[in-house]
Amino acid sequence: MQSYVALVADMTGRYAHVYGTAIDWPSFADQLEGVGCEVIENQTEDYEPIDELTLDDLHEYDVVTVQELTTHTDAVLA
């Protein structure tokens, strides 16, 4: 599994950076679209080396996990 950070938008046009893992980028994008996000771009390179960052590190950069996006934010998802 690979780690990724995506820039996404919700139905209101608000943006978020979302962290997750998948076999490849298209699979991660599909996962995000499946929860109702519009995937804007792959921003993983901005967080390199991503595999060395902890969840706390990511939170300091205002990056949330897919689960946090769907349960702990006010994102409006389809």
The pTM score is 0.91
Q: Yes or no: say if 36 and 73 are a contact pair by the CB < 8 Å rule.
A: no
CA distances from 6 to 11, 24, 54, 63 (A): 16, 12, 17, 9
- What are 11-64's pLDDT values in tens digits? 999 999 999 999 999 999 999 999 999 999 999 999 989 888 899 999 999 999
- What are 5-20's pLDDT values in tens digits? 999 999 999 999 999 9
